[in-house]
Structure 1
Amino acid sequence: MSTLFKRLRIHQVFGANTNVGKTILTTALVRASAQKGKNVFYLKPVSTGPMDDADDYHVNRYTTKHARWIDAECLFRYDEPVSPHLAVQMQKSGEGTPPSDETFVNSIANRIRTYARSTLDPSHMYLETAGGVHSPSLSGTSQADCYRPLFLPTILIGDSKLGGISSTISSYESLLLRGYIIDAVMLFHDDYYKNGEYLKKYFAERGVFLAIVDAPPPKLSEPWEDFTSTEKYYESITSSDGPNIVGSVVDHLDSCHVKRLEELESMPRRTLDSIWWPFVQHGLVKGEKDVTVIDSAYSDFFSVTNKDASSESSIVSPQYDGSASWWTQTVGHAHPSLTLAAARASGRYGHVMFPQAIHLPALNLAERLIQNGPGKGWASRAFFSDNGSTGMEVALKMALRAFSIRQKDHLKNEEKKELGILGLKGSYHGDTIGAMDACEEGVYTCEWHNAKGYWFDPPTVGIKDGEVNITVPASLASFSQSNSVQAESLSWVYDVEGRLQTPLARAYALYITRALEALKQRGGPKLAALVLEPLVMGAGGMLFVDPLFQRVLVDTVRGRRSGSSTKWSGLPVIFDEVFVGLHRIGMESTGPLLGVYPDISVNAKVLTGGLVPLAVTLTSQSIFEAFLSDNKAEALLHGHSYTAHAIGCEVANETLSLIDKLSASEDWLAAQASWAKSDGQPSPVWSLWDPNFITAISKLPQVKEAMTLGSVLAIKVQGASAGYTSQSAQTLLQSLNIASQDGQLSSAPGGAAFGIHFRTLGDVAYFMTSLNTTSTVIRSIEDRIWTTLNST
């Protein structure tokens, strides 16, 4: 991951094209830094071609006698003077097998750390890439993507020749799209094309420092004369006796480095003076040390400031994003495909009005979700909104209107205002007032909250002491004759169709029926919709609800065994799949597993890969028709200024395409195989977390139970204090935040030791991966959790 040292100022050098003078200008920067009394490191990660033409050889040749101390080296050297991805294939030794991007980046990061430890004096480092911004790396990946995990401040060498304006601006924009900090642009002066004059204005408007440097003299055929001429040239552009343009660049780079350090150092205090965080009791924040400063993010990792960094260690370090940034990350942070999708839609549309209009990203997304996604087989319409909470507001409006219209002959106007919903205790559907009203009173509600409905206490699934158990609440225990049911296996629990004829299913049905009858007899609220978080209730404490209970509940309120009918009956059924949907728990939608489809469902979070907010409420044709008439007042008069935001829709389409590829990936197939039934048949559920690890931690004395589905792992800890306000889980596992020093240095990008940023829900600690988190990273996290739990 990213590195930033107080004493070692690092910049990497990208070129707008090949042969634009990267090595010449980098050599000049090395000399200018040395002349300012700095120790200087030069690193060429990849060199192709003869040694005499190697860039590190050139740097050594023209800087050594002028330097206080210079170290120039190359990590990967190949004989053929071609692109790195071809050079490695043509290499005779090693059978042409290229190192992976991870190996390549780790090699660079380790070298940087070695440099940082080797000097006690303020030093400079220049890392020179090969070719242009998008020239292939050794693996064939674009350099712009390959080097991104390092997140090094950048110098772009522009192109002074014909077409150079376009290639320079294109390179600059390519780097910006990947989040690079571009501290300076340099290029040669050219009297004919005058690219510098044009680019000077372009970059000035964007606040980017541009330096135009005299071009080098022509190469001479006589080696000694060429050396003398080149040496004289370097002297002319770096000497303190002249204009010393290159020296001014070095000064600017130093000031950028200092500014970044000062900015990071000041952010905690400025934050405490200006920010009101969500879900944080500011009275418990003790000071600046409690503020996590995120300098950048890449893949599954934040790059956070290291408050205890020594003078020779990086002041930023990797921290695993253990909550997938509040359940949003799908393919990791800063994924270039999603960034480019956002840019593509932004450049084509920006934002456009949506009522009675259409654009291709929205249409493609709606059709994808309805025809081949979570709405397949039951949904006919897609309604766009901003986020999960607003998507649920839309769903509630749809359901209540549909119920009111069907019950119009039995429902007074004043009764419509008091309609309630049926749900489960521990449910949570967002923080807008309407969504809060669909939940019972709890820690998330506010003064205006008016709980409208009835909520069942659900049975839950967990693994205790290595055994799968269904915990039955006290209110239901008399019907099931037990408060705990030991299951045959996890796959048995989620074989809903196979369990429908069991005594427990009959107990559930009897309990639900009698509770609803009792509610009606005592004049409880008139129920107008069933609202469920299928399988897992996230904010309520990562409660893994017995799927059989939810299936029986749906069948009961519909008054029939669920089938393929698209006409709602009894009560409209809403599935809040904001958390669980789109493979977060290992399946695209929960309907096929439950054997029942909703009348309305909501998807968000995973939908856009964590890049931008967007929600989609899917609905059946019969719900849609409740709003269909020739009277506008009867339409669904609900909307948002950014409804069907083109950028969000395009990013969602790209995200879904990436998920489709992941579903056939080796990591997923291997994980599914590890959760197969004892006879080798596929299990209806699976997890990216290792089953042996889950079993092992469930047996620890500190753990009350553990549970996992898909990318989600929940650990409920033992202790007298339970509930959302408990600090027990946070206290038990707080050492995970500290970077590991146990030798597991290869999991984070750049090979650095990493901490784990995780969230807790009272006595429950949960960990969540992206859908493409590698098995290597997950195994490292499992080891950290295991070690931490065993050391307490």
Structure 2
Amino acid sequence: MPETQLPDWYHDGIDHIWLPYTQMQTAKPPLPVIKSDGVRLTLADGRELVDGIASWWAAAHGYNHPHVLKAVETQLKEMPHVMFGGLVNEPALRLSKRLAAMLPGDLDRCFIAESGSVSVEVAMKMAVQYFLNKGESRSKFVHFRGCYHGDTLGTMGVCDPEEGMHNLFGDVIADNILCDLPRTEAEAAKFTIFLKKNAHTIAAVITEPLVLGAGGMIFYPPETLKWLRSACDEAGVLLIIDEIFTGFCRTGTMFAVEQAGIVPDMITLSKALSGGVSPLSVCAARDHIFDAFLSEDPTKALMHGPTYMAHALGCAAANASLDLFEREDRLGQVAKIEQQLKDELAPCRDLPNVKDVRVKGAIGVVQLHDASNIDALKPKFVDAGVWIRPFRDIVYLTPSLTISAEDLSILTNTIFSTLNG
């Protein structure tokens, strides 16, 4: 974008910001966005981009949905925030009740924080203290290759170290147990034996369900989740499922675990929870987890409490987001998106540099053989009028669930034409 078209606020502030996942010395300047609406982003120079990522898939209902904005506006006038220590607020309690009713099994207790990483940290902390409160010291977590759970110090310890973002911190992050996800019954049997043998050191197994997001949008079948649940039950180990990416219809069911028919001991939610309007996350725990913290002994309480825990404004946005999931046919929309992605990305298979094309729910992936020039694709997509942000060796789409067939075709056709160029 020419310097003359950049707004004053961009010139004034760009030298004082630190961008995510970015080598600031060599990166191209970020694009200034001045407006969002539906599935479109308007840049400062007037160009519009069709967003294929939905702000890291958080804007599930599209940008600026009037129902969500109205709920936030109403809550803002009444009470944007109040501390959750000794006080509660109506949006937070209503949200917790609704989530408990939506989630499978007895995932009845919601710890509401501000970010996805924090919700995973809380789940891990709950798991360790669950056993401490029972008189056992278990500090290890079993995690899997390709999985990503956040960038905070604790969550880095359960991400795939080969993923690359966190390998500088090998000497300071917790030393946990990295495994391959079992893909066959034989592998599941071996995993169960391993887990039982080492259960005295292991607090929990943690995984993303069905889709390993930052690991390269790798899909795996529901049977694997069933095997993990069974192995954890046999070994007396807890199971944490991270639904921050997959939750709220993204994989074709409200929650991905529904496709396996399992109930984890803890489940983490964020992103689409608040419709992409406000930072918010939840760690929901089953009743037996919560009960293990009940005692006359104050040291057995969960000592965790973010300042903006159960943020009333964010909870109001989340309640409005849940309204839309309940009132509008998001699952039907996902089914249509899935079929359109399958149909329109299929021609990419014939391109010489394409290794694989795969689709699950509202996730479309084109994997490349040679990804050495993957960053060069980003400005080409912008020039074509779309916001698609490839990484590793994949070009992917995670659009708003409300995207029209016409706008989705713009995205898929642009991927094909750009990769074919």
Normalised by the length of structure 2, the TM-score is 0.91
Instruction: Answer yes or no: is 1:737 the counterpart of 2:367.
Output: no
Q: Residues 555-611 of structure 1, C-alpha deviation per residue, up to 9 Å, x if partnerless?
A: 11211xxxxxxxxx7111111111110112222112221121101001110010111
Whether the 8 Å CA contact 2:50–2:407 is kept in 1: the answer is no
- Counterpart of 2:307 in structure 1 is 641
Partner amino acid, structure 2, of 1:775: A
Note if 1:702 corresponds to 2:353. Answer: yes
Q: In the superposition, relative to structure 1, how do residues 525 and 325 fare at CA in structure 2: closer, same or farther (>3 Å)?
A: farther
1:277 aligns with 2:19: yes
Distance 1:444 1:451, change over 3 A: farther
Q: What is the Cα deviation at residue 277 of structure 1?
A: 0.5
Q: Contact 1:395 / 1:574 at 8 angstroms: preserved in 2?
A: yes
Aligned to 1:511: 190
Contact preservation (8 Å) 2:116, 2:270 = yes
Q: Is the 8 A contact 2:109 2:286 kept in 1?
A: yes
In the alignment, what sits opposite 2:35? Answer: 296
- Aligned with 1:582: secondary structure? coil
Distance in 1, Cα, partners of 2:159 & 2:211:
15
Q: CA deviation at 1:638?
A: 0.3
Instruction: Tell me, in whole angstroms, the C-alpha distance in 2 between the residues paired with 1:593 and 1:788.
Output: 35
Q: Where does 1:679-690 land on structure 2 (aligned, <5 Å)?
A: 687=338, 689-690=340-341
- Residues 269-316 of structure 1: per-residue CA shift (max 9 Å, x gap): 445422110111112225xxx3311121111111114xxxxxxxxx31
- Please give the secondary structure, in 1, of the residue aligned with 2:304: coil
Q: Paired residue for 2:321?
A: 655
Alignment-derived partner of residue 37 in structure 1: none
User: How many residues are paired up?
Assistant: 417
Secondary structure at 2:245 match in 1: coil
Question: In percent, how many aligned pairs have the same letter?
Answer: 30
State the 1:330 CA deviation: 1.4
Q: Within 5 Å, give how 1:61-72 maps onto structure 2.
A: none
Give yes or no for the alignment of 1:538 onto 2:213: yes
Alignment match, 1:404 = 132
CA deviations on 1:640-698 (whole Å, 9 max, x unpaired) are 1111111111110101111223326xxx64763x6xxxxxxxxxxx8264322243323
Deviation at 1:353, TM superposition (A): 2.2
Instruction: Please show how residues 229-378 of structure 1 align to structure 2 within 5 Å.
Output: 264-266=6-8, 269-286=11-28, 290-305=29-44, 315-371=45-101, 373=102, 375-378=103-106
Q: Structure 1 pair 656/274, CA: closer, same or farther in 2 (3 Å)?
A: same
The letter for the 1-side match of 2:349 is S
Instruction: Determine the structure 2 residue equivalent to 1:713.
Output: 364
Note the 1:280-679 alignment, pairs <5 A.
280-286=22-28, 290-305=29-44, 315-371=45-101, 373=102, 375-406=103-134, 408=135, 411=136, 416=138, 419-442=139-162, 443-445=164-166, 446-447=168-169, 449-458=172-181, 504=184, 506-513=185-192, 515-516=194-195, 520=198, 526-559=201-234, 570-663=236-329, 669=332, 672=335
Residue type of the alignment partner of 1:280: T
Supply the distance in 2 between the matched residues of 1:264 and 1:439 (Cα, whole angstroms). Answer: 38
1:763 equivalent in structure 2: 393
SS of the residue corresponding to residue 701 of structure 1 reads coil
Cα 1:291–1:512, aligned 2, differ >3 Å: closer, same or farther?
A: same
Which whole-Å deviations, capped at 9, do the CAs of 1:747-768 have from their partners, x for residues lacking one?
A: xxxxxxxx11122221112211
Quick check: 2:104–2:263 contact (8 Å CA) kept in 1? no
CA–CA distance in 2 between the matches of 1:431 and 1:366? 26
CA distance in 1, matches of 2:303, 2:332: 45
**What amino acid does structure 2 have at the position aligned with 1:429?**
H
Q: 1:648 to 1:277 in 2, by over 3 A?
A: same
Structure 1 counterpart SS, 2:107: coil
- Superposed CA RMSD in Å reads 2.6
How far did residue 440 of structure 1 move?
Answer: 4.3
Q: Distance in 1 between matches of 2:267 and 2:181?
A: 20
Shift in Å, 1:536:
0.9
Given the superposition, is the C-alpha separation of residues 670 and 628 from structure 1 closer, same or farther in structure 2, using an over 3 Å criterion? closer
- Deviation per CA, 1:52-76, whole angstroms, max 9, x where unpaired? xxxxxxxxxxxxxxxxxxxxxxxxx
Question: Which has the higher Rg, Structure 1 or Structure 2?
Answer: 1
In structure 2, distance between residues paired with 1:277 and 1:386: 19
Q: Measure how far apart 1:535 and its partner are.
A: 0.7
Q: Write the letter of the residue equivalent to 1:526.
A: T
Structure 1's 600 and 278: CA in aligned 2 closer, same or farther, altered over 3 A?
Answer: same
Check whether the contact 2:377–2:390 (CA below 8 A) recurs between aligned residues: no
Q: Is the contact made by 2:333 and 2:402 (CA closer than 8 Å) also made in structure 1?
A: no
The higher-RCO structure (CA 8 Å, 6+ apart) is 2
Q: Is the 8 A contact 1:671 1:690 kept in 2?
A: no
